[in-house]
């Protein structure tokens, strides 16, 4: 069972499995706990608790297909997704409905969708970089080595470029990150400075400066840096920082996209 969260969203559902599956895939969340009455989903940003409506009440609720948006609801949760277009596709594939048009907001693009039971939620795609005031762009010439050296936080990747559906990130590491896996994404590590040890369940990789290694999707791994190490990461935008676990190093996509 997941540890109690300080903040989150509670959703009541007639069909627990359908609603849980929708949010798991749209948000790229990890299922921390599931039983006949509850599901606890965790993303780097928030915890989502889905509670089955008791049968004596659920039997009186009609859910249309496709769902009818509950326009009268007073609260609309919002969630950050890596790619708005992909989230829309997944939402419809898992029984939801896309509502209205995308509209711009400061530093993001947003749109509404409703889940399979009509609950309206607000999806946000954070702008990869908002550098217009300085006349810069993600395609500007920059040195990953220099950016990594200037970072002040450990185990906190920062996006330095994007290529189609992939982010290029740099990070400063020291210590042990923790065991995790990325079920749907490969992850490339390139050491810019120092030495990185990547422990896996059936192998160990030692990377010195200039060396790189791709951890295949689904492989549990544990990055370890005995001394300060600078790395460049190349991974799909859907990749969660700490994969299928949440630990003290976990950073949300919004945190990784902060201006440098």
| Cα-based torsion angle of the residue sequence 177, 180, 182, 188 in order, rounded to the nearest 10 degrees | 40
What's the pLDDT band for 246 if we cut at 50, 70, 90?
Answer: confident
Spatial separation of the C-alpha atoms in residues 117 and 201, rounded to whole Å:
41
- Tell whether 54 is covered by a domain: yes
- Does the residue 49 lie in any domain? yes
CATH number at residue 19: 3.10.180.10
To the nearest whole number, what is the mean pLDDT of the chain?
Answer: 89
DSSP 87: H
Q: What confidence tier does 136 reach under pLDDT thresholds 50, 70, 90?
A: very low
**Domain encompassing residue 179:** 136-256
In the block, residue with structure tokens 């400066």: 209
Burial of 159 (0-12, 13-18, 19+ CB in 10 A): buried
- Banded model confidence at residue 3, pLDDT cuts 50, 70, 90: low
For residues 140 and 250, state if they share a domain: yes
pLDDT at 15: 95
Q: Looking at residues 195-204, what average pLDDT do you find? A: 97
pLDDT tens per residue across span 18-30: 999 999 889 888 8
| pLDDT score for 259 | 81
Name the band, by pLDDT with cuts 50, 70 and 90, for residue 138.
Answer: low
**164 with 185, same domain?**
yes
- 120 with 223, same domain: the answer is no
The position carrying tokens 């990747």 is 157
Residues 246 and 147 in one domain: yes
Asked whether residue 99 falls in the same domain as residue 185, the answer is no
Q: Which of 126, 159, 185 is the last residue of a domain?
A: 126
Per the CB < 8 A criterion, the answer to whether 237 and 166 are in contact is yes
pLDDT at 260: 80
Q: Phi and psi for 20 in degrees, rounded to 5?
A: -60, -45
Mark whether 20 and 110 lie in a shared domain.
yes
Are residues 193 and 100 part of one domain?
no
Give yes or no: residues 145 and 249 share one domain. yes
Determine contact, residues 96/67, Cβ cutoff 8 Å.
yes
**pLDDT class for 48, splitting at 50, 70, 90?**
very high
Specify if 246 maps to a domain: yes
Q: Which residues pair with 191 in a beta bridge?
A: 231
Taking a C-beta distance cutoff of 8 angstroms, is the pair 69, 121 a contact? no
Tell me if the pTM is above 0.75: no
In a domain, 206, yes or no: yes
What whole-number distance in Å separates Cα of residue 150 and Cα of residue 138?
18
CATH number, domain with residue 226: 2.60.120.10
40 pLDDT tier (thresholds 50, 70, 90): very high
- 188 in the same domain as 118: no
**119 and 181 inside one domain:** no
Q: Are residues 51 and 102 in the same domain?
A: yes
Q: Is the pLDDT of residue 83 over 50?
A: yes
Pair of tokens at residue 89: 């596709």
d(CA 173, CA 229): 5
Beta bridge partners of 221: 180, 200
Domain membership flag for residue 1: no
């Amino acid at each position: 069972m997941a540890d109690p969260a300080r903040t989150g969203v509670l959703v009541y559902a007639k069909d627990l499995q359908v609603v849980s599956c929708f949010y798991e895939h749209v948000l790229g969340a990890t299922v921390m706990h599931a039983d006949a009455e509850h599901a606890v989903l965790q993303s780097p940003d928030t915890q989502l608790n889905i509670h089955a409506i008791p049968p004596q009440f659920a039997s009186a609720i009609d859910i249309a297909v496709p769902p009818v948006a509950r326009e009268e609801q007073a609260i609309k949760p919002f969630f950050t997704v890596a790619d708005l277009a992909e989230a829309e596709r997944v939402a419809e594939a898992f029984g939801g409905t896309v509502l209205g048009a995308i509209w711009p907001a400061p530093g993001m693009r947003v749109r509404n969708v409703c889940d399979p039971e009509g609950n309206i939620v607000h999806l946000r795609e954070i702008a990869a970089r908002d550098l217009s005031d300085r006349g810069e762009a993600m395609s500007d010439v920059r040195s990953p080595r220099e950016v990594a050296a200037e970072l002040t936080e450990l185990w906190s990747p920062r996006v330095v470029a994007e290529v189609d559906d992939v982010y290029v990130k740099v990070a400063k590491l020291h210590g042990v990150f923790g065991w995790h896996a990325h079920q749907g994404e490969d992850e490339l590590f390139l050491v810019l400075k120092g030495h990185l040890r990547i422990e896996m369940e059936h192998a160990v990789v030692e990377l010195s400066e200039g060396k790189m290694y791709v951890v295949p999707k689904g492989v549990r791994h544990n990055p370890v840096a005995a001394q300060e190490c600078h790395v460049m990461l190349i991974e799909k935008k859907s990749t969660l920082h700490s994969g299928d676990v949440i630990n003290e190093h976990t950073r949300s996509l919004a945190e990784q996209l902060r201006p440098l």
